[in-house]
Chain A
């Protein structure tokens, strides 16, 4: 029983944390690529 409770809680938290890390990665890569593209436009 305890193992099932642990797996349920760890699972929900794990997926949420994984998606949060992915969210941060997407935001960061969006910011960096925007900067790169803007610089490219300026140079062009």
Chain B
């Protein structure tokens, strides 16, 4: 009989709390979004499962020094290994051709980072400390791995909430961006057709990751881990002599890194850390950051048009792709543009600012690390 009581005492049921049940509900919402709505399922599904595991009592999975998922978290994220591996895969998947063919589109990737800094300042005004504000601001870049990388270094206690906010908004690009884009542009601007630019040669595509690594890392050394892996992945792709490495970076390695990123990020969200009023603020400010980033990209494109000749003008919708959600933001630009003019094919033009946005967000994160740490 004593053994039976002991067994009951050792089970987790007696240690359940209402907060844990609330977190199960949040995990359930992520499962729903990932499985039924297919919103960023590759990340939201493992994050949701991580949340569930972190809110089961007595498992010890996130016990420092001992827990299985804590080890994934510590050696993968705190040691800054997994986000750069994700960037290796992203680099291997990225075609810089559109941005090389029309380099002025690079500026739209920078313009969209204005939202990051405006939100950083707003978060600081609302009472977050300077490191926390930086992590909230970077959500506006809509770049999951960069958000996780920065959060792990500057505000680890906010890692889970910021990562979920970043991936949620990346998934909601088709809902969040179009109203902002339509509000800031006229019908006449939305139907601007952009000319197909020149074809980019192989040598130029090979030189780009080498030169970009040198320039960006010399300018912002703190951005080196992410930028180096991003450009390494890209040179695997463009050199066309290491197909095996290119395929591994794009597929197997990327998939493994995604699993070991999602589960521990979700597992950082235990009830005590997540169910706090400031987490709601993080989500609200993150959404504002994302909307300002979209708006600043569109407004910069309109500003650039003031100096461009007729026939060379940029469709301002393309500026919205300056956030880094690749390729979702570019698809949304194309979709909004084709609603105004069915024959306007903006996808390839929007891919330019989209990949420039990834570079811009990494630079923004590097600047935060340089100036604040």
Closest to A37 in B: B201
Binds A, one of B34-42, B55-63, B103-111: B103-111
Closest to B105 in A: A23
The tally of residues in B whose CB lies under 8 Å from a CB in A reads 41
Are B204 and A29 neighbours in the complex by a CB distance under 8 Å?
A: yes
Are B204 and A14 neighbours in the complex by a CB distance under 8 Å?
A: no
Given A11-B368, A25-B211, A25-B215: A33 touches B203 (CB 8 Å cut-off)? yes
Chain B, residues 80-118, CB within 8 Å of chain A (1/0): the string is: 000000000000000000011001101101100110111
Are B208 and A26 neighbours in the complex by a CB distance under 8 Å?
A: yes
What residues of chain A lie closer than 8 Å to B116, measured between beta carbons?
11
Are B110 and A18 neighbours in the complex by a CB distance under 8 Å?
A: yes
What residues of chain A lie closer than 8 Å to B100, measured between beta carbons?
26, 30
Are A19 and B371 neighbours in the complex by a CB distance under 8 Å?
A: no
Given A26-B100, A29-B207: A15 touches B118 (CB 8 Å cut-off)? no
Within 8 A of A (CB), among B277-302: none
A-B contact count (CB 8 A): 99
Are A23 and B103 neighbours in the complex by a CB distance under 8 Å?
A: yes
State which of B118, B208, B359 has its C-beta within 8 Å of the C-beta of A19: B359
State which of A3, A10, A12, A37 has its C-beta within 8 Å of the C-beta of B203: A37
Closest to A10 in B: B371
CB distance from A19 to the nearest CB of B (A): 4
Given A10-B371, A30-B103: A21 touches B215 (CB 8 Å cut-off)? yes
State which of B121, B201, B219, B220 has its C-beta within 8 Å of the C-beta of A4: B121
Show 7 A/B contacts (Cβ-Cβ < 8 Å), sorted by A: A4-B124, A7-B134, A11-B117, A19-B363, A22-B106, A29-B204, A33-B207
Chain B residues packing against A (C-beta within 8 Å): 99-100, 103-104, 106-107, 109-110, 113-114, 116-118, 120-121, 124-125, 130, 133-134, 200-201, 203-204, 207-208, 211-212, 215-216, 219-220, 356, 359-360, 363-364, 367-368, 371-372
